[in-house]
Amino acid sequence: MSDREIDLQLVERVRAGDQRAYGLLVEKYHRKLMRLLSRMVRNSDEIEDIAQETFIKAYRALPQFRGDAAFYTWLYRIAVNTAKNHLMARGRELPTVSDQAMNDEDEPDERLVAQNISTPESELLSKQVAYAVDEAVSALPEELRQAITLREIEGMSYEEIADTMACPIGTVRSRIFRAREAIAAKLRPILGTSEDRRW
């Protein structure tokens, strides 16, 4: 089942009354969405507000989602419209980036991500997470490091990774899982173990 089909499954669950499935979609896409918004809005609080509003609007509009487009594409359009309305309501100019860049659904050009979207606390935490992930990846055995890198950074499928690493697909699946678990183990002390976060 492709990534898009999994999103569709999650949407179907939400539409069948399982609100927690929406939490998975929020978790999956909010960082990507915030980076998109950071190209249009400078203030970090505003970015967070617009992102929240986007997810709430999307939730309300889910009954109209037909699955013709990918969920993120649909969410992206809502985010861009929400940001435009937000800026217009405040009588502000649209972003300094071009419309073409705003309408580009690919990964944003890093040169355009000039704004600082974080608060000092969140920036510190973000750096801690990034550092822990980098350290954990560096400490991985070569075959695990290569597998997770090819998957997460290069975006290769398991079949492509199997070809590249000359091993069975089942081995790729196992290596990627072990890599994730090893990195997650390094992150847990930073992420904490509080039980009060339920969604």
Partner 1 sequence: MTIKTATAPLASQAEEDALSALLDGELSQTESLRALARIHSAPAERTRFRTYSLIGDSLRGLPDTHPDFTTQVMAALKNEPTLLAPMPRRRERRPALWLAAAAVSAITWGLWQSLPDQPIPAPMAANAPRPVDVEPYLAAHQDFAQAVIAPAEMQFTQVSFVEPQR
Beta-carbon contacts of 51 under 8 Å, excluding residues fewer than 6 positions away, are 30, 33, 34, 37, 79
| Binding flag, residue 6, partner 1 (CB under 8 A) | yes
CB nearer to partner 1: give 10 or 83.
10
Part in contact with partner 1 (CB under 8 A); list of ranges 75-83, 85-93, 94-102, 149-157: 149-157
Q: How many residues bind partner 1 (CB under 8 A)?
A: 83
CB of 91 to partner 1, least distance (A): 26
| Binding flag, residue 145, partner 1 (CB under 8 A) | no
CB of 147 to partner 1, least distance (A): 11
| Binding flag, residue 43, partner 1 (CB under 8 A) | no
What part of residues 67-86 is at the interface with partner 1 (CB under 8 A)? 67
Beta-carbon contacts of 47 under 8 Å, excluding residues fewer than 6 positions away, are 34, 37, 38, 41, 117
Site string for partner 1, 91-120 (x = CB under 8 A): ----------------x--x------xxx-
| Binding flag, residue 150, partner 1 (CB under 8 A) | no
| Binding flag, residue 149, partner 1 (CB under 8 A) | yes
Distance CA 101, CA 162 (A): 35
Is the Cβ–Cβ distance between 140 and 182 less than 8 Å? Answer: yes
Part in contact with partner 1 (CB under 8 A); list of ranges 48-56, 72-80, 83-91, 94-102: 48-56
Q: How many CB atoms lie within 10 A of CB 17?
A: 7
| Binding flag, residue 13, partner 1 (CB under 8 A) | yes
| Binding flag, residue 158, partner 1 (CB under 8 A) | yes
In degrees to the nearest 10, what's the CA dihedral of 173, 187, 5, 176?
A: -10
**According to CB under 8 A, which one of 42, 62, 78, 115 is a site residue for partner 1?**
62
Residue 27 to residues 24, 121, 174, Cα–Cα distance (Å): 5, 20, 24
- DSSP per residue, 12-34: HHHHTT-HHHHHHHHHHHHHHHH
